[in-house]
Amino acid sequence: STDLGGSGNNAPTISGTPATTVTVETAYSFIPSANDADGDDLTFSINNKPSWADFNTSTGALTGTPASGNEGSTQNIVISVSDGALTASLAAFSITIEGTSNAIPIAQNDDGYSTDSLSSISIPVLDNDQGLDDGPIQVVVIQAPSNGTTEVLSNNSIRYTPNDDYIGSDDFVYKITDADGDLATATVMLEVIACSSCETDVILELSWDANPEDENVIGYKVYSGNSTGAANSLYETLTENSAGFDMSVPTVEINAQTDLSLQNGDDICFKISAYNAGGESSQSAAVCDTI
């Protein structure tokens, strides 16, 4: 300390080495050490404070977290301490903000979506989210809807399907996680509305020629699937003992909703085979329809 002019008051001292670089989204903190031999109360001040930082005049602490857009350098920062009469200062220094490739995801709520009571809807939840540069992005539903079900699709959209006969509001919460483990959550809000133009029961009728080529047919097998190539799942076996089935005029009615759990927009295909005591024929060509 120094007694200037023989006044009996010693100038305060200040020391410390501030960091001169910091990356975006990383906390910065520097607190200088200061003393006064006379025990005077000390007050700190700063010149050229960075715009992203806060300064404490009681402790001299310079703190803050630079955000994206703060990249660059603040020059000639000077932190000083005063005992009310005399002042001491650190050497001028600079702080350079460096960019970072770590993008923090920001999930935005999604609303304004609606679907009718018999249809699913695919919601592109990431379209209004931000900070998704650090892929791949994983989407998970962490709070299921109260009145429906969800499925995360391969493109990270979420398919919502309302429960049978439900009409009203519903919501669910999803979480996004990037490759760095950064995460965010948001809520999807939607309305399930009645569909006056929708058929509540779509009846599909299949018919074919009886007993082809007099092969002593004793029954038929109906296969189904959502495409021509996938129509290989046995749906029903029909014989003369099947209720309501006439072997001489083979026809079967299928309720798309109750029998196959299909919804509007779903595709369905059928194939038929005949069988007798010697075995089963090859399947017919597929017939397909969209509900």
**What are the extents of the domains in the chain?**
12-98, 110-193, 203-290
Which architecture, in CATH terms, is 203-290? Sandwich (2.60)
b/e string for 11-50 if b means 16 or more Cβ within 10 A? bbebeeebeeebebeeebebebebebeeebebbbebeebb
Distance of CA 209 to the CA centre of its chain: 52
Q: List pLDDT tens digits, range 215-270.
A: 889 999 999 999 999 999 999 999 999 999 999 999 999 998 888 888 878 899 99
Nearest to 52 by CA among 23, 17, 76, 81: 23
Q: How far apart are CA 232 and CA 217, in angstroms?
A: 21
Note whether 103 and 183 are within 8 A (CB). Answer: no
The DSSP H or E segment spanning 255 is strand 251-255
pLDDT surpasses 70 at 5? no
Q: Which tokens sit at 2? A: 């120094």
Q: How confident is the model at residue 180 (pLDDT cuts 50, 70, 90)?
A: confident
User: CATH number for the 12-98 domain, one of 3.40.50.150, 1.10.1740.10, 2.60.40.10, 2.60.40.1170?
Assistant: 2.60.40.10
Q: What is the pLDDT of residues 133-154, one digit of tens each?
A: 888 999 999 999 999 999 999 9
The architecture that CATH gives domain 110-193 is Sandwich (2.60)
Model confidence pLDDT, tens digit, residues 28-80: 999 999 999 999 999 999 999 999 999 999 999 999 999 888 999 999 999 99
> How is residue 31 written in tokens?
């607190």
Q: Which tokens belong to 117?
A: 């009571």
Q: Decide which of 95 and 198 is more confident.
A: 95
How many other CB atoms are there within 10 angstroms of residue 149's CB atom? 14
Is residue 103 scored above 80 in pLDDT?
no
Does residue 132 surpass a pLDDT of 60? yes
Q: What are phi and psi of 190, to 5 degrees?
A: -150, 170
